[in-house]
Amino acid sequence: MPIWIGDRLILAAPADPEYLRQDPRTILMSAGQAFGTGTHPTSQMCLVELQAHLQEGDRVLDVGSGSGILAIAAARLGAGTVVAIDRSVPACRVAHANVSRNELAKVVTVLAGTPEVFGPGARFDLVLANLDTAADGAYWLPTLSRLCRRGGKIVLSGFQSPGEGRVQQALEEANLARLARQSQERWITLVLGKPA
C-alpha cells in the first residue's frame, strides 16, 4: 500500500501499480533485514522534516540509515550528495539494493560503520539520524554536531518522551539550538541548528 508523505514523496513497494512506480516522486522500498519502510512514526516525521529543511544541492549524511529510506528521499528531493552509514552490514546491503532500485547510485553512497569513520574535515549541510534510543541520540550528538557545518541542521529521531531530557542535555552541551519538535505516538523528532 503506497504512502504519501506531503506532496513531494510517495513510498511504494516494487509490487505496487506501474503508474506509481513511474512517478518521479516515488521511492521504491524493500526493507529486507533493515529498519525503514516509511510506516514507522519516526521515519514519517523525519521525511516531513527532510522536505522542510533540505536545500537543493545539499551535502547530506544519514546516520543509522537502515533500509536507506531517508538517504534515498534526500536524493529524490534534490540533495547534491548523500552518504548513508549504518553499523549493520546486512542493513547496508538492503540500502545499497534500494539505492540501485531507485537508480540513485550516482548521488547516494552507502557505507558500513559509524560516524566516527569521517575525518576532521568532513562537513555536511544536513545530518539525519533516526536512531534506536534516546541514549544513542545523546551519545552521538557531539559527533553529529562535529560533522554538521556551521549554520547546518540535524534531524534527530528514534526516541520517546521519557528520554527527551537526556537528549536535551546532550544538545545543550553540543551547543545546538532546538529549532523544531514534533511528536507522534509518543515518538519524538527534533530539528537542531548549529550556530553559524
CB 85 within 8 A of CB 115: yes
Neighbours of 24 (CB within 10 A): 7
pLDDT confidence bin for 23, thresholds 50/70/90: confident
Q: What is the pLDDT of the chain when averaged over all its residues?
A: 91
* Higher-scoring residue by pLDDT: 33, 62: 62
Neighbours of 51 (CB within 10 A): 16
Domains defined for the chain, CATH in brackets: 35-193 (3.40.50.150)
Mean pLDDT of all residues in 66-90? 96
Mean pLDDT of all residues in 120-137? 92
Cell of 144: 553529529
Q: What pLDDT does 22 receive?
A: 82
73 Cβ contact list (under 8 Å, min separation 6): 5, 9, 27, 47, 50
Mean pLDDT of all residues in 101-120? 94
